[in-house]
Structure 1
Amino acid sequence: MNISFLGAAKTVTGSCYLVETKETKFLVDCGMFQGKANEVLLNTEEFSFNPGDLDFMLLTHAHIDHSGRIPKLHTDGFKGTVYATKPTVQLCGIMLPDSGHIQEMENEWTNRKRKRAGEPPVKPLYTLEEATDCLGLFKGVAYDEVISVSDDVRVRFKDAGHILGSAILEIWIRENNQETKVVFSGDLGNKGMPILRDPSIIGDTDYLIVESTYGDRLHTLKKETDKIERFISIISETISKGGNVVIPSFAVGRTQELIYDLNKHMDVFGDKVNEILNVPVYVDSPLATSATKIFRENLDCFDEEAKAYIANGDNPLDFPSLKFTQSPEESRKLNEKAESMIIISASGMCDAGRVKHHLKHNLWRKESTILFVGYQAEGTLGRKIQDGAKIVKLFGEEISVNARIESIDGFSGHADKEGLLSWIRSIGRKPKKIFVVHGEQGVAASFAQTITDELGLQCIVPSRGESYVISGGNIYEHVPSANARKRFRRLAVVEMLETLKEEFDELSEILKNDLKQEKSDVEIDEVAAKLKMVEKSIIEALK
């Protein structure tokens, strides 16, 4: 058996793993790269395998960083079945067409820019129609049932507690009259998350591929009441100043949990919550609106607490001041209103969607608050704001960041370091080897070392493009073909160029803003001299 790590290896996005046996070839996930410009470029690269040779695909959940390149996979020749839980199939039914629409809109903007520069147009990654076409490949499966997906491969989907329909994959592969078990954690949720069940316990495995998004840190607000109290205090303080609270949120998962928590704690925090609930709460994302309907159709996936609310006649995903906007016109009108409001809008990392308009209208306002409740990948607009950027660019315009910036990690859909360790610790028969993925490079390495130090288990942190052969209980690193090596080396150079471009752009913004301040002739000459040195170094390097 051979496992190739083609995405979410020393990075968080682009999950994609190719598994090859003597008889079968399949993918686990095929997600979109997000965040840094150099990583986003990877979406347009040709796959390092022939999609037409794949027998099937296993999808852990619907988030775009796990599912977003399935339409491209299909247009490039994949005709097999995509196995996923039934809620994941439903969610992909709205999320992939939405992604196709975004690709078309961004491509239209790109081509206008290229036309002005005298450059030929380019095609989108995929279209709305292509995204819709690939949905015919999906097949829904139930949790906890072992199914045969080929003569030599069986699989079972277990609840991962990350978003509705998310799954841990238990995969049994038979080769040479011997069965090997491989487990893919997918994205693991926190224990005690609203609506969802806790991540399932796995009895045993020979090899484990585990995520590490928060593998180097602990969520600060462990107690649910602490998390909600801080959430409500931030909102209350902002409203008292006449500002808006803008919450960038993933349309699927985090939005529904925020609605649930606001509804659930009406009685616990009394007047403060009632004050908030008199303020309109707008979910400004058509995708989130559709996803909330799908949540309401899958009550069997809810935890016991949520089921009890429903049994008592309460709708945990609704309350009187909650409003859903649909049209772009409704969305625009929100920024014309004078009264305070709470706006929950996608995308969660602020790189697309309506939230960018709300940021443009609120980032400069000292009385408003931008509240992050989910992970912000490196290179995203959300991460820049979270890390303290003083000025950001939105729709070609520089916007000062004067608003209050807050983050609450207790809402995260990812387990923290202790949660991940606890889950690995709970596995009955421990794995012979663990592959640590889905984490930024330093985080993945740190978590791998933590696993070894605390659990005594050996880990590998694969790089993108690396392959490993598992045979007879041993692991061998597989040397990729010359073409594959060339492709990944070329991509590495592209990454370096894009990183340099980002750093130069950031330096340029800093210097331009610095020069707006009152400067002496000597200080201006010093800046000019430094830039001359940089220019000279670049010219020398290119000779």
Structure 2
Amino acid sequence: MRVRFHGAAGEVTGSLHRLEYEDRQVLLDCGLIQGGGNEDARNAAGFGFDPRQLDAVVVSHAHIDHCGRLPLLVKRGYSGPIYMTAATADLLRIMLEDSARLAAADAERETRARQRRGEGKVEPLYLLRDVIDTLKQVKPLEYGERREILPGLTLRFEDAGHIIGAAIVELVYQQRGKRKTLVFSGDIGPNAAPILRDPTAMHEADLVLMESTYGDRCHRNRADTVKELGAVLRQAREDGGNVLIPAFAVGRTQEILYWMARYFREWELEQWQINLDSPMALKVTELYQRHINLFDREAKELFAKGLNPFAMPNLRLISDVQDSMALNKRASGQIIIAGSGMCTGGRIKHHLRHNLWRENCDVVFVGYQAARTLGRQLVDGAEFVTIYGEKIRVRARRHTVGGLSAHADQNQLAAWYGHFHQRPPVCLIHGEDAARRALKEKLEAEFRAEVRLPKPGQVAKF
């Protein structure tokens, strides 16, 4: 058996890996590439294999960098089953419909610009009808359920603790006395994060594909991070401006609201108008409430007491475009939580365009910012950025609150790997090279593990 790497091998986004054995092919994830300047061309390019030759697709979770090219895969001929957890299946519709709408809007905007230059039309990556076709092929499984998806090949999902529905993927091939086990971590969540359960410990594997997003660093203590967030909000209130929080619609938004509700009085949040300006985040937040059975004990107890962190008295849920635009008429008193988390699209870009030049504005980054994204430019201290063709001077204060990550840090990743018996070989993926190298050194030193850093096109045999 072998795994061929096509994406997220040396970078964080664009998850795409292919299991090959005998005459069978199983695709692990089919994610959108984000950032880099040439992402549109890379996303539209060929996959490096014929989608019509795939026998099955397995998706770890519904973040767009893990599922965002599924409709393109179907559009180009894949007609087989797409396996994921039941909660991921619920999320997938929201994520892909939003992705299709954004792609259509971007294509329309680029077409207008090109037509003014006498150039041709731009086609979106895929359409809503491609999303509908994709959803028809989804086959949901519950955590812990074992299902034979191909002759001799059994699939099992376990909780990854990353976002609602996120899974660790186990594929076991057993035929003619042979047994091989592949474990794909997907994205591993941190221990003791609010709302969701801790990631499941796995014990048996012949090869492990493990994410390494934060392989070169350790997060701040979560309690200290929450205190820092409160201090930033209190200082911002004294400064008299707006607070912008770019946040992923899935996971990060819900955690931010959780902490705001929990410390509502201590942080004097009644003095703010809190705006959740993301139609997708609104749908996701509603979905979270339908999957309370997947929450950890503390979150279940909170809901059982009737304390809903998603229903604060001054929380305004904004879906209408006109209401979103109206937010930019006010220069103070607002907390605006909007996507996308890396500022690559969505409504946050409009709010940044209207607020970055204000000295009393605060921008709070609560998640990972991939290389060459607008979010990374701002985190790295850029004095000027370009948004929708307009060059903007950045005077706003920028805060990086890293302890709220939905990803495990270096120590937590190493601890997760440490549960495996016999210390199987591990391929580090979903991380930039510096992060992968650092985690490789730690795993080698701590466990004497055989660690590989695959590049696109390379193969790992097991």
Provide the TM-score with structure 2 as the length reference.
Answer: 0.98
Partner of 1:455: 447
Contact 1:251 1:291 in 2 (8 A): yes
2:224 counterpart letter in structure 1: D
Please state how far the C-alpha of 1:39 moved relative to its aligned partner: 4.1
| Partner secondary structure for residue 165 of structure 2 | coil
Tell me: higher relative CO, structure 1 or 2? Use CA pairs within 8 A at least 6 residues apart. Answer: 2
Number of the residue aligned with 1:480: none
Q: C-alpha deviations, 1:247-284, integer Å up to 9, x for none?
A: 00001110011111111233xxx5x42x2233111000
Q: Are 2:280 and 1:282 equivalent residues in the alignment?
A: no
CA distance in 2, matches of 1:383, 1:303: 32
Q: Indicate the residue corresponding to 1:342 in structure 2.
A: 335
Q: 1:256 aligns with which of 254, 270, 276?
A: 254
Query: Is 1:325 equivalent to 2:323 in the alignment?
Result: no
Among 245, 248, 264, which residue is 1:247 paired with?
245
CA contact under 8 A between 2:87 and 2:164: conserved in structure 1? yes
1:58-101 Cα offsets, whole Å, 9 max, x none, are 10000000000000000000011111111101111111011011
Matched, 1:379 2:372: yes
Instruction: Tell me the CA shift for residue 123 of structure 1.
Output: 1.8
Deviations 1:379-423 (A, max 9, x none): 100000000000001121111110110011111000110110111
Kindly state the Cα deviation for residue 438 of structure 1 after the two structures are TM-superposed.
Answer: 0.3
Q: Is the 8 A contact 2:31 2:69 kept in 1?
A: yes
CA distance in 2, matches of 1:319, 1:64: 28
**Which aligned pairs between 1:425-440 and structure 2 lie closer than 5 A?**
425-431=418-424, 433-440=425-432
The corresponding residue for 2:196 is 196
Q: Following superposition of structure 1 onto structure 2, how do residues 362-511 of structure 1 map, counting pairs within 5 Å?
A: 362-431=355-424, 433-470=425-462
User: CA–CA distance in 1 between the matches of 2:165 and 2:40?
Assistant: 26
Between the aligned partners of 1:192 and 1:214, the Cα distance in structure 2 is 17
Q: 193-202 vs 418-427, which deviates more?
A: 418-427
Asked whether the equivalents of residues 239 and 341 of structure 1 are also in contact (C-alpha less than 8 Å), the reply is no
* Structure 1 gap segments, 5+ residues each: 471-543
Deviation of 1:363 (Å): 0.7
* Distance in 2, Cα, partners of 1:408 & 1:335: 24
2-side partners of 1:419 and 1:230: how far apart?
Answer: 22
Greater shift, 446-455 or 11-20, is seen at 446-455
1:55 counterpart letter in structure 2: D
Corresponding residue number in structure 2 for 1:477: none
Q: Closer, same or farther in 2 for the Cα pair 1:435/1:338, shift >3 Å? A: closer
Per-residue deviation at 1:23? 4.1
Unaligned residue ranges in structure 2 (runs of 5+):
none
Residue 227 of structure 1 aligns to a residue whose secondary structure is: helix
Contact 1:244 1:369 in 2 (8 A): yes
Q: Which amino acid aligns with 2:273?
A: P
- What SS is found at the alignment partner of 2:329? coil
Cα deviation for residue 338 of structure 1 reads 4.6
Q: CA deviation at 1:40?
A: 4.0
1:124-139, aligned counterparts within 5 Å?
A: 124-139=124-139
The answer as to whether partners of 1:100 and 1:129 remain within 8 angstroms in 2 is no
State the SS of the aligned residue for 1:30: coil
Q: Structure 1 residue 115: deviation in Å?
A: 1.9
Q: Output the CA distance in 2 between the equivalents of 1:394 and 1:173.
A: 49
1:457 maps to a residue whose letter is: A
Bigger helix share:
1
Structure 1 residues 18-45: Cα deviation after superposition (integer angstroms, max 9, x where no partner): 1111142110100010010234421111
Provide the C-alpha distance between the structure 1 equivalents of 2:99 and 2:176, rounded to a whole number of angstroms. Answer: 42
The one-letter amino acid paired with 1:385 is L
Partner residue of 1:163? 163
Distance 1:434 1:277 in 2: 49
On the 8 A contact 1:23/1:152 being kept in 2, the answer is no
Match of 1:297 in 2: 290
Which residue of structure 2 aligns with residue 183 of structure 1? 183
Q: Distance in 2 between matches of 1:318 and 1:233?
A: 23
Please tell me the residue identity of whatever aligns with 2:305. Answer: N
Matches of 1:429 and 1:248 in 2, distance apart? 42
Task: State the SS of the aligned residue for 2:376.
Answer: helix
Q: Pick which of 448-457 and 36-45 moved more.
A: 36-45
Structure-1 separation of matches of 2:132 and 2:433 = 34
Identity of aligned pairs, percent? Answer: 39
Shift of 1:149: 0.7
The aligned residue for residue 8 of structure 1 is 8
Find the counterpart in structure 1 of residue 95 from structure 2. Answer: 95
Q: TM-score, normalised by structure 1?
A: 0.83
Counterpart in the other structure of 2:36: 36
Which residue identity lines up with residue 67 of structure 2 in the other structure?
Answer: S
Q: 2:433, 2:119 → 1: CA distance? A: 36
SS state at 2:49 partner: coil
Residues 111-126 of structure 1: pairs in structure 2 closer than 5 A: 111-126=111-126
Question: Contact conserved, 2:108 with 2:122, CA < 8 A, in 1?
Answer: no
In 1, Cα distance between equivalents of 2:331 and 2:372: 33
CA distance in 2 between counterparts of 1:242 and 1:327 reads: 26
Equivalent-residue separation in structure 2 for 1:20 and 1:463 (angstroms)? 17
For the 8 Å contact 1:21–1:175, the answer to whether it is kept is no
CA distance in 2, matches of 1:237, 1:265: 15
| Runs of 4 or more above 6 Å deviation | none
Inter-partner Cα distance in structure 2 for 1:458 and 1:165: 30
What is the number of residues matched between the two proteins? Answer: 462
Given that 2:144 and 2:156 are in contact with CA atoms closer than 8 Å, whether structure 1 keeps it comes out as yes
Q: Which amino acid in 2 is paired with 1:344? A: I
1:176 shift after superposition: 5.0
Match of 1:27 in 2: 27
Per the TM alignment, residue 312 of structure 1 is displaced from its structure 2 partner at its CA by: 1.3
State the SS of the aligned residue for 2:38: helix
Q: Distance in 1 between matches of 2:63 and 2:179?
A: 31
- Measured in 1, the distance between the counterparts of 2:103 and 2:175 equals 41
Q: Which amino acid aligns with 2:240?
A: G
Cα distance, 1:449 vs structure 2: 2.0
Partners in 1 of 2:147 and 2:382 — Cα distance? 49
**One-letter code aligned to 1:170:** E
1:204 deviates by: 1.6
- Contact 2:260–2:269 (CA under 8 A) maintained in structure 1: no
